[in-house]
């Protein structure tokens, strides 16, 4: 019997090694006198994106979710009618969804709809829903009691809090940023924020409890580095508040998770999500902690959804979900393609769900840990984003942290400038 390895043709060995100089000479010929810089694109952060980058032989995979594990397929529970929301939630869970994003009216991700923040509405919307799949709460500033209401629901059902998987989603800074201010200062909000989380943890809930939500910046038209700097600054503020509330740093960091927007710019989305993990690891090291993978969720971008020719939104969402999935996120929410036109029907919700199921079950995207590791273009872009975001984070910290930066209008001015450029 012949040796299969011996029968393998080393096709690449039949060709001479190519050099960058040879490639550059071919490019110059095609450009016909035009400057090479015409091939270099720039992001809204001013980052140069070249046409070809050398492979980074020293690169190592960036740890995200467990190797080979699928990300959570999240479906929105956002219908204002709790009974209708419950019917859709049960249908989604029976047909492939592995988690629910419970969106309350007025939340960052409500987009004009959302569940009422009442005990009756929550109980009805989650009727028959087991709370062991991932349930993420998308809260508004006025829904601070939702955490207690959900905890009461768990108690009423006789379920051990430790048996649930609930991301409570407290984000008072994000709510203040969207609302344009708050009647209370951060030094007044922070103790109550830490106390609420301490109470839920004492009951046995695992969390995470607080979210640093980049959609606040992305939906407003901000850039990738601005979104990263914002979520890092918010997470730092929450980390400090929890530590001031007598929670050890090692435990406090596990109480915080991140949610970023994923859009149709595949490379920048991948680089942004990979950069987040590297940046947060740097923060952990600065706190004297050994880095551990944070929980990172992604939602396809609201700002890329169009009302006209909405079916093209399916393509945009597929690219965004792909970019998020291969970047090692733990959970993905795909906005239904008709969401800009109103509450999605069951068909639009099915497409949102099945987009992820095809990527997972047919394309097996989750089987490889950080497939972009070593890719010159991605590695270069990730490093540039890290540097740009870290510089902006330092600027925020110099003025006293994220709350002070928002009060001074520092972030608003920068985001408005990028939005105007767009």
Structure confidence by residue, pLDDT tens digits, 294-343:
999 999 999 999 999 999 999 999 999 999 999 999 999 999 999 999 99
Task: Give the pLDDT band of residue 18 (cuts 50, 70, 90).
Answer: confident
d(C-alpha 93, C-alpha 91), whole Å: 6
pLDDT at residue 88, rounded to an integer: 97
Q: What is the CATH number of domain 72-421?
A: 3.20.20.240
Asked if the model's pLDDT at residue 93 lies above 90, the reply is: yes
Residue 81, both tokens: 């009618």
3-state secondary structure 70-130: CCEEEEEECCCCHHHHHHHHHHHHHCCCCEEEEEECCCCCCCCCCECCCHHHHHHHCCCCC
Task: Give the pLDDT band of residue 55 (cuts 50, 70, 90).
Answer: confident
Asked if the model's pLDDT at residue 110 lies above 60, the reply is: yes
Q: How many residues does the chain have?
A: 422
Count CB atoms within 10 A of the CB of residue 197. Answer: 26
Q: H/E element holding 420?
A: helix 410-421
d(C-alpha 315, C-alpha 262), whole Å: 13
* Helix, coil or strand: residue 365: helix
pLDDT at residue 7, rounded to an integer: 54
Asked if the model's pLDDT at residue 15 lies above 60, the reply is: yes
Mean pLDDT of 35-54: 89
Q: Which residue has the higher pLDDT, 224 or 369?
A: 224
| CB burial string 250-267: b at 16+ within 10 A, e below | eebbbbbbbbbbbbbbbb
Task: Give the pLDDT band of residue 56 (cuts 50, 70, 90).
Answer: confident
Asked if the model's pLDDT at residue 2 lies above 80, the reply is: no
Task: Give the pLDDT band of residue 6 (cuts 50, 70, 90).
Answer: low
d(C-alpha 379, C-alpha 54), whole Å: 10
**Residue 358: alpha-carbon gap to chain centroid:** 20
> What is each CA distance from 88 to 52, 75, 80, 106, 302, in whole angstroms?
46, 9, 12, 20, 21
Report whether 386 contacts 275 (CB < 8 A).
yes
pLDDT digits (tens, 9 = 90+) for 133-165: 789 999 886 666 899 999 999 999 999 999 999
Mean pLDDT of 380-409: 96
pLDDT at residue 1, rounded to an integer: 46
> What is each CA distance from 133 to 48, 164, 353, in whole angstroms?
41, 8, 15
* Helix, coil or strand: residue 348: helix
Average pLDDT, the chain: 92
pLDDT at residue 360, rounded to an integer: 96
pTM, 2 dp: 0.93
Query: What is the dihedral sign for C-alpha 238, 240, 243, 249?
Result: positive
d(C-alpha 74, C-alpha 332), whole Å: 6
Domain limits, the chain: 72-421
Asked if the model's pLDDT at residue 266 lies above 80, the reply is: yes
d(C-alpha 204, C-alpha 412), whole Å: 38
Residue 412, both tokens: 């608003």
pLDDT at residue 289, rounded to an integer: 95
Asked if the model's pLDDT at residue 118 lies above 80, the reply is: yes
């Amino acid at each position: 019997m012949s040796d299969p390895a011996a029968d393998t043709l080393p096709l690449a060995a039949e060709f001479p090694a190519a050099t960058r100089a040879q490639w550059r000479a071919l490019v110059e010929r095609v450009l016909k006198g035009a400057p090479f810089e015409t091939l270099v694109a720039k992001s809204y952060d001013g980052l140069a994106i070249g046409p070809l980058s050398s492979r980074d032989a020293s690169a190592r995979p960036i740890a995200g979710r467990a190797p080979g594990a699928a990300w959570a397929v999240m479906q929105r529970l956002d219908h204002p009618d709790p009974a209708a929301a419950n019917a859709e939630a049960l249908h989604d869970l029976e047909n492939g969804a592995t988690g629910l994003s419970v969106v309350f009216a007025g939340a960052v991700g409500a987009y004009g709809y959302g569940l009422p923040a009442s005990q009756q509405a929550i109980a009805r919307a989650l009727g028959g829903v087991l709370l062991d799949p991932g349930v993420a709460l998308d809260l508004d500033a006025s829904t601070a009691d939702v955490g207690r209401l959900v905890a009461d629901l768990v108690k009423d059902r006789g379920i051990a809090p430790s048996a649930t998987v609930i991301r409570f989603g407290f984000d008072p800074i994000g709510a203040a940023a969207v609302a344009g201010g708050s009647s209370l200062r951060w030094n007044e909000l922070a103790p109550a924020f830490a106390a609420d989380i301490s109470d839920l943890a004492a009951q046995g809930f695992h969390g995470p409890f607080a979210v640093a939500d980049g959609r606040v910046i992305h939906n407003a038209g901000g850039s990738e580095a601005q979104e990263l700097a914002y979520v890092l600054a918010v997470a730092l503020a929450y980390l400090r508040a929890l530590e001031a509330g007598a929670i050890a740093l090692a435990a406090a960091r596990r109480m915080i998770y991140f949610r970023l927007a994923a859009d149709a710019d595949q490379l920048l989305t991948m680089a942004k999500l990979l950069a987040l993990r590297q940046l947060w690891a740097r923060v952990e090291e600065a706190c004297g902690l050994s880095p551990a993978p944070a929980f990172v969720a992604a939602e396809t971008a609201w700002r890329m959804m169009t009302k006209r020719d909405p079916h093209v939104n399916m393509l945009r969402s597929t690219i965004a979900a792909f970019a998020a999935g291969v970047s090692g996120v733990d959970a993905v929410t795909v906005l239904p393609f008709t969401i800009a036109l109103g509450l999605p029907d069951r068909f639009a919700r099915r497409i949102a769900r099945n987009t992820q199921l095809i990527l997972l079950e047919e394309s097996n995207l989750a089987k490889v840990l950080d497939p972009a590791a070593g890719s010159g273009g991605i590695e270069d872009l990730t490093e540039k984003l890290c540097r740009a975001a870290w510089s902006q984070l330092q600027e925020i910290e110099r003025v006293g942290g994220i709350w002070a930066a928002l009060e001074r209008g520092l972030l608003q001015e920068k985001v408005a400038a990028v939005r105007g450029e767009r």
